[in-house]
Amino acid sequence: MTMRTRRSLSIFAGTIALLTAAAACSSDDPASPTGESGATGGDLTVAGPIPIENLDPHGAASLDGGTQLAARAIFSQLVVSTGPGEFEGELAESWEPNADTTEWTFTLREGVEYSDGTAVTAADVVASFERVLAGEGPLAGNFGGYTVAAPDESTVVFTSPTPDAAFLGKISSFFVTPQGAAEEGFFQDPIGSGPFVVESFEPGASLQLAPNPGYWDGEPTLDTLEFQSIPEVAARMTALQTGEVDVTWSMPDDQIAALKSDSDLTVENVPSPGVITMWMNSSTPALQDPAVRRALWQAVDFESIIGSLYPETGSPADSVISPAVLGYAPQEPVPYDPEAAKAALDAAGFDYENTVIRWQFSQANFRNLVDAVVSDLAEIGVTVEPLEKEQAVFLEDLLALNWDMNLQQLGTQGFDAATNLGRLYTCAANRTGYCNEQLDQILAEAGSTSDTALREELYAQATEIIWNDAVGMYPMFVEQPYAWRTSVEGFEPVPDGLPYFDEVAVSGD
């Protein structure tokens, strides 16, 4: 497909050949593979929404979407989460917690090798985990106080000072690398045990992969796999429609309709753990009263907003965490009722005149949503000042509680409520200005038992408190949209937007 485009360009190309010759040394030509056949696996070009800047799954970028995406192709996890509370072993064949979930023992799969032929050992797992802890990156934050040991070649034991029932969910973001990963330059040309091996890598621009013939679960069918970074939405959509790119995801709703009408494309949404979350800072005097927070929530016509702005990927939420997550419990929806909202605010003595609610967000794609919500609140006389901040500023202010309202799409790592509710809503975390000892107790108990049914029950109780006290508005569950060309076979959309490609093939077109 790309071939056709390139050929018709030869005339243009000639005219500027001269000037490019000077800079020819620049980008190593991706030696475009010429096998345009349908017989074998074919060549797949993928452009996700986030660039791949770093292949090191242990360090500062460990939880970055781009790094995680690449790591899933190059390295192997111990376990893969397949749904709420469900896991499949990858490097690990089996695993078991002790009674109070402070100790997790993993038995490794026999005979798994890195692409250079050496065996994956328990010592590698230990070294990788210790590297994560030493790096103090975002992933390390999940494993405070943890230690790891390898009693024998194929057994790894993780030990936590406090009970940690959600360990499996957290460890599913952890990738095992050879011990050489600590050496400088390893990730320029890394060796892993995943389905693909790195051919070339231009950080932030493109990553070229080839199948790993020794992959334990069978060599992938693709001939080549390329990840490209295309930040501008219009360019990415065009590239998909012209066939320069075969797979993309996280398209804005307004683009999905156009893609759906293209018969060369398949568009599919899967439920994701994402929830549009609008925390209201309970430590702001004006928002201290739960009745006020609930009233504000009630004053926004989320049903029309979602129906108009997110007809494809949004659905009204009925909980703090999504149904795709362990611990989900549906709540009574908050109906749109501006009169009741106004009355409740009046009753609570809300100061319309002198209150300006500072609402921070950092992603430009939230602008329409923010505008619409601000408009509805203005209808009942509440003034909200939207503050679009640069990511770094947003994060700094977020932790400092320097906001009255905050907008994020919150996911739940490992599909376990522990990483969302358990981490964000405790008094100690102090993330929302909200503090409730009863909630703290419930969350602590839920985090320290391995009894799944009991955990689900406890998280349901926690959700009810958070929902009824309106720690935030939780208006919308987000679906993860994917689009791929019909020539792509075997592509499996995944909820977290980090798909795998080892079972994908491209038929000739």
Minimum gap (Å) between residue 394 Cβ and another protein: 8
Contact assessment for residue 220 and residue 202, using Cβ atoms and an 8 Å cutoff: no
Which of residues 241, 269, 288, 461 is near another protein by CB under 8 A? 241
- By CB under 8 A, is residue 353 in contact with another protein? no
- In the complex with another protein, the residue whose CB is nearer, 220 or 481, is 481
Question: What single string gives the DSSP state of each residue in 328-391?
Answer: ----------HHHHHHHHHHTT--TTT-EEEEEE--GGGHHHHHHHHHHHHHTT-EEEEEE--H
- In the complex with another protein, the residue whose CB is nearer, 182 or 291, is 182
Which of residues 25, 39, 99, 453 is near another protein by CB under 8 A? 25
Footprint of another protein on residues 175-204 (CB under 8 A)?
Answer: 185, 187-188, 202-204
Q: Binding marks (x or -) toward another protein, 99..128, rule CB under 8 A? A: ------------------------------
- Tokens (6 digits) for 314: 């949004």
Which of residues 234, 263, 349, 354 is near another protein by CB under 8 A? 234
78-86, 211-219, 236-244, 465-473 -> range binding another protein (CB under 8 A): 236-244
Q: Binding marks (x or -) toward another protein, 58..97, rule CB under 8 A? A: -xxx-x----------------------------------
Q: Binding marks (x or -) toward another protein, 33..62, rule CB under 8 A? A: --------------x---x-xxxx--xxx-
CA atoms within 13 A on the CB side of 41: 19
- In the complex with another protein, the residue whose CB is nearer, 99 or 234, is 234
How many Å from the N-terminal Cα to the C-terminal Cα in the chain?
Answer: 8
Is 413 exposed, middle or buried (CB count within 10 Å of its CB: 0-12, 13-18, 19+)? buried
Question: What single string gives the DSSP state of each residue in 182-231?
Answer: GSTTGGGS---SSSEEEEEEETTTEEEEEE-TT-TT---S-SEEEEE---
Which of residues 37, 40, 162, 238 is near another protein by CB under 8 A? 238
Which of residues 152, 367, 452, 508 is near another protein by CB under 8 A? 367
- Tokens (6 digits) for 121: 């050992």
- By CB under 8 A, is residue 228 in contact with another protein? yes
Nearest to 403 by CA among 411, 412, 394, 391: 394
Which of residues 3, 123, 356, 378 is near another protein by CB under 8 A? 378
Distance CA 115, CA 197 (A): 7
Minimum gap (Å) between residue 308 Cβ and another protein: 4
Minimum gap (Å) between residue 47 Cβ and another protein: 8
Site size toward another protein, by CB under 8 A: 95
- By CB under 8 A, is residue 3 in contact with another protein? no
Is 177 exposed, middle or buried (CB count within 10 Å of its CB: 0-12, 13-18, 19+)? buried
Whose tokens are 């692409």? That residue is: 115
Nearest to 476 by CA among 348, 337, 325, 320: 320
Sheet order of strands, 147-152 included: 92-97, 103-108, 155-159, 147-152
Footprint of another protein on residues 288-347 (CB under 8 A)?
Answer: 304-305, 308-309
Footprint of another protein on residues 385-444 (CB under 8 A)?
Answer: 385-393, 395-400, 408, 413, 419, 423-424, 429-430
Which of residues 152, 254, 339, 492 is near another protein by CB under 8 A? 254
Distance CA 175, CA 24 (A): 37
Minimum gap (Å) between residue 177 Cβ and another protein: 13
Contact assessment for residue 260 and residue 267, using Cβ atoms and an 8 Å cutoff: yes
- In the complex with another protein, the residue whose CB is nearer, 202 or 464, is 202
